[in-house]
A and B are shown apart, each in its own frame.
Chain A
Amino acid sequence: MSTVRSAETATPPDVLARPAEPHAEQAAGPGVAVAVPPRRGPARAALRLLRSELTLTFRRPRNIAMLIVLAIVPVLIGIVLRVVGGDGEAPSLITQVAGNGLMLTFVALSLLVQLLLPLAVAVVAGDAIAGEASGGTLRYLLTAPAGRTRLLAVKFVNVAIFGLVACMVVALAALVTGFVLFPVGPVTLLSGTTIPLADGLLRVLIVTGYSAAGMAALGAFGLAVSTLTEVPIGAVAATVVAVVFSQVLGVIPQLAPVQPYLLTSWWASFDGALRDPVATDVMTQGLLVFAAYTVVCGSIAWGRFSGRDITS
């Protein structure tokens, strides 16, 4: 980014504009006071569009409501564990929360990453193109001209950032609840090793980042679905149904050979960060699966969107 800026300050915008726009002056009509628009870096223009997307996403009442729900669930889990907790029969991870508030983050993420987080991401992703199409705003964005490829890329980054924020909201809400309701100290990993609190927080960061990557892959899928229709609800529903269907496939033992190829099978693999040593092989594989889904779904979305007739 800094290099772009320095390059721009070094060269006057007009000079930059000329080679790109040889006919700029010539094209201007007689007597038209069309100033040659100062050309800015395409990266900065894309960032401006992204900022506009983010403002739209995070100001939208519906999205804010989803983030609030995502923040409330970890708090509720924490309160329930505080009130009911201490029961030795429960799975150990839950009982561990009673001993260490930090574990609430992992419990909350492992629960929410299965349905509620994907749901939130599916809503934003499924709405991304189909929502603009159904509102008619897509035609004005494209004649602005936003550029189809650029718009799609910005939409994807926007969905990915929303996924990251959603994961962070869950993690933070769980972290704060855990710190308030439970004692906090060194963290026991799944492997039985105990690590210092600071190290534990680092693992929270890894887990959140990994979950966000999984959500970004789902976002790419939702975006691809979103380019296929002009009905946003349809795109959202199709994405959610695909997630649920994939999770059903994931628990049928006979389909074990298929499961490594399902996106949903890898979301929970963030537990690799809770092992000692960190199961980098599993998590790397998970990230590769996410990347593969993103590339394939992203290219399908591009193939569809770049040539589609906008009729809405």
Chain B
Amino acid sequence: MTTGEGAHEAAPPRVASRPASPDDCSIVSRGLTKRFRGGQVAVDDLHLAVPRGSVFGFLGPNGSGKTTTIRMLLGLMNPTSGGCEVLGRPMPAGLSAALPKVGALVEGPAFYPYLSGEANLRRYDAADPAADPRTVTSRVGSALDRVGLGAAAGKRYRAYSLGMRQRLAIAATLLGPRELLVLDEPTNGLDPQGTREVRSLIKEIAADGTTVFVSSHLLTEVEQMCTHVGVMRTGRLVAQGPIAELRDGHALRVRVESPQPAQAASVLNQLGLADVRTGVDEVTAELGAVAPERVVAELVGDGVSVRGFAVLRPSLEELFVGLTGEGFDVDG
């Protein structure tokens, strides 16, 4: 599924993917657009399709419209035009039917500072008309345990550290049985250990069949857990699809280490490989349809001394730099 037809002159090769049928999607948006009063377009003609059961990484630099999109998906904002469906319900009309099955973390944690962590979760649970008050104690308890806050349940939120606050916000999304989790930057403020924990928690939740829609400006965070990604750039969705397809859509390259780079380059050119670049003691080129073993055989056959040979799979990092025109904060 492609978006933003021809609008970007520097548009990188787009990932083509079978558009998921709307019935199989937890989130679908059609032409979702948000124009702020000042005229600034925060989200532009978004066609999002988040397959049911996927872990969908919603990527993009800060300010690319991720949070605005999430606010529209959750019915907090009205789209200027276009529409979206969450769990098969149009938003915001079907909000009351859909949202009880959606756990959401939007733009960081927000709680009542003078209440304890547990009381805070009870407060949000009380706001959900579908939640059963008879089971609230056990649900709140298990949510706190899942994020490792069981011991700090009675502590006032005011006294929580940044990481604890973030965990509490994740706990709030786990208060009930969910079909969809929307997590906006879930590892913000967490130390590496906490980030790992959250990542494994998300995997665990996803293993239960829950769709997880996780936004991030950190590529490394989502790369390891996502099945699908969507990439935002200045309000437009520049790519989306299964992560494997995204990778496959990109040309593999070969790298030949050799003390005779010029000779190696001419062999590669003869084989018809494109984009041959010669460096110091190495040559790289797009592999194209040529089998790697044939490349090696030709090189050796022509008497090029090959010290090393590798087929390069482009890292997602390189991919997204290409897609978004700017780098991600690699290590946050």
**Residues of chain A at the chain B interface (Cβ within 8 Å):** 21, 23, 27-35, 37-40, 42, 45-46, 48-49, 51-52, 56, 59-61, 135-137, 139-147, 150-151, 307, 309-311
Contact with A along B19-34 (1 / 0, CB 8 A): 0000000100000000
Contact with A along B84-110 (1 / 0, CB 8 A): 000110000001110111101011101
- Which of B208-216, B266-274, B299-307 forms contacts with chain A? B208-216
- Which of B71-79, B242-250, B257-265 forms contacts with chain A? B71-79
B131 located at the interface, meaning its Cβ lies under 8 Å from any Cβ of chain A in the complex: yes
Q: Is the CB of A29 within 8 A of B211?
A: yes
Q: Is the CB of B76 within 8 A of A310?
A: yes
Q: Is the CB of B127 within 8 A of A145?
A: yes
Contacts of B112 in A (CB 8 A): 56, 135, 137
Q: Is the CB of B132 within 8 A of A38?
A: yes
Query: Looking across the interface, which residue of chain B has its beta carbon closest to that of A52?
Result: B126
> Could you list some 6 contacts between A and B, CB below 8 A?
A27-B179, A39-B130, A40-B132, A49-B127, A49-B129, A140-B106
Q: A29-B53, A310-B71 are in contact. Are A143 and B76 (CB under 8 A)?
A: yes
When chains A and B are docked, how far (Å) is the Cα of A46 from the Cα of B108?
A: 27
Closest beta carbon of chain B to A152's beta carbon, Å: 13
Contacts of B100 in A (CB 8 A): 37, 144-145
Contact of B126 (CB < 8 Å), options: A38, A40, A51: A51
Q: Categorize the interface residue count of chain B.
A: 35 or more
Q: Give the top 5 A-B pairs by smallest Cβ distance, nearest first.
A: A136-B110, A52-B126, A45-B129, A144-B127, A146-B127
Q: Is the CB of A143 within 8 A of B74?
A: yes
Q: Is the CB of A135 within 8 A of B110?
A: yes
Q: Is the CB of A35 within 8 A of B76?
A: no
Contacts of A52 in B (CB 8 A): 122-123, 126-127
When chains A and B are docked, how far (Å) is the Cα of A32 from the Cα of B207?
A: 9
When chains A and B are docked, how far (Å) is the Cα of A28 from the Cα of B133?
A: 22
When chains A and B are docked, how far (Å) is the Cα of A74 from the Cα of B122?
A: 37
Q: Is the CB of A28 within 8 A of B132?
A: no
Q: Is the CB of B209 within 8 A of A32?
A: yes
Query: Looking across the interface, which residue of chain A has its beta carbon closest to that of B208?
Result: A32
Q: Is the CB of A60 within 8 A of B71?
A: no
B256 located at the interface, meaning its Cβ lies under 8 Å from any Cβ of chain A in the complex: no
When chains A and B are docked, how far (Å) is the Cα of A31 from the Cα of B125?
A: 25
When chains A and B are docked, how far (Å) is the Cα of A30 from the Cα of B24?
A: 11
B52 located at the interface, meaning its Cβ lies under 8 Å from any Cβ of chain A in the complex: yes
Q: A27-B87, A56-B112 are in contact. Are A143 and B176 (CB under 8 A)?
A: no
Contacts of A21 in B (CB 8 A): 97
Query: Looking across the interface, which residue of chain B has its beta carbon closest to that of A39?
Result: B130
When chains A and B are docked, how far (Å) is the Cα of A35 from the Cα of B106?
A: 25
When chains A and B are docked, how far (Å) is the Cα of A147 from the Cα of B100?
A: 11
**Chain B positions 150-168 with a Cβ under 8 Å from a chain A Cβ:** none
Q: Is the CB of B129 within 8 A of A46?
A: yes
Contact of A139 (CB < 8 Å), options: B53, B106, B132, B133: B106
Contact of A309 (CB < 8 Å), options: B78, B87, B108, B113: B78
Contacts of A146 in B (CB 8 A): 127-129
Q: Is the CB of B126 within 8 A of A147?
A: no
Contacts of B78 in A (CB 8 A): 307, 309
Q: A27-B87, A52-B123, A137-B112 are in contact. Are A33 and B129 (CB under 8 A)?
A: no
B111 located at the interface, meaning its Cβ lies under 8 Å from any Cβ of chain A in the complex: yes
B314 located at the interface, meaning its Cβ lies under 8 Å from any Cβ of chain A in the complex: no
Contact of A144 (CB < 8 Å), options: B107, B128, B132: B128
Query: Looking across the interface, which residue of chain B has its beta carbon closest to that of A30?
Result: B209
Q: Is the CB of A42 within 8 A of B129?
A: yes
Query: Looking across the interface, which residue of chain A has its beta carbon closest to that of B132?
Result: A38
Closest beta carbon of chain A to B229's beta carbon, Å: 20
Contact of B128 (CB < 8 Å), options: A29, A35, A38, A145: A145
Contacts of B130 in A (CB 8 A): 37, 39, 45
When chains A and B are docked, how far (Å) is the Cα of A167 from the Cα of B108?
A: 39
Closest beta carbon of chain A to B166's beta carbon, Å: 13
Contacts of B127 in A (CB 8 A): 49, 52, 140-141, 144-146, 151
B254 located at the interface, meaning its Cβ lies under 8 Å from any Cβ of chain A in the complex: no
Contacts of A307 in B (CB 8 A): 78
Contacts of A136 in B (CB 8 A): 107-108, 110
When chains A and B are docked, how far (Å) is the Cα of A98 from the Cα of B98?
A: 64
B172 located at the interface, meaning its Cβ lies under 8 Å from any Cβ of chain A in the complex: yes
When chains A and B are docked, how far (Å) is the Cα of A37 from the Cα of B172?
A: 17
Contact with A along B217-248 (1 / 0, CB 8 A): 00000000000000000000000000000000
Q: Is the CB of A37 within 8 A of B131?
A: yes
Contact of A37 (CB < 8 Å), options: B53, B71, B132: B132
B63 located at the interface, meaning its Cβ lies under 8 Å from any Cβ of chain A in the complex: no
Q: Is the CB of A309 within 8 A of B114?
A: no
When chains A and B are docked, how far (Å) is the Cα of A27 from the Cα of B209?
A: 12
Contact of B102 (CB < 8 Å), options: A28, A143, A150: A143
Q: Is the CB of A145 within 8 A of B179?
A: no
Query: Looking across the interface, which residue of chain A has its beta carbon closest to that of B133?
Result: A48
B177 located at the interface, meaning its Cβ lies under 8 Å from any Cβ of chain A in the complex: yes
Q: Is the CB of A143 within 8 A of B88?
A: no
When chains A and B are docked, how far (Å) is the Cα of A48 from the Cα of B123?
A: 10
Contacts of A48 in B (CB 8 A): 126, 133
Contacts of B131 in A (CB 8 A): 37
Query: Looking across the interface, which residue of chain A has its beta carbon closest to that of B72?
Result: A309
When chains A and B are docked, how far (Å) is the Cα of A309 from the Cα of B77?
A: 4
Closest beta carbon of chain B to A73's beta carbon, Å: 26
Closest beta carbon of chain A to B159's beta carbon, Å: 16
Contacts of B113 in A (CB 8 A): 135
Query: Looking across the interface, which residue of chain B has its beta carbon closest to that of A13?
Result: B132
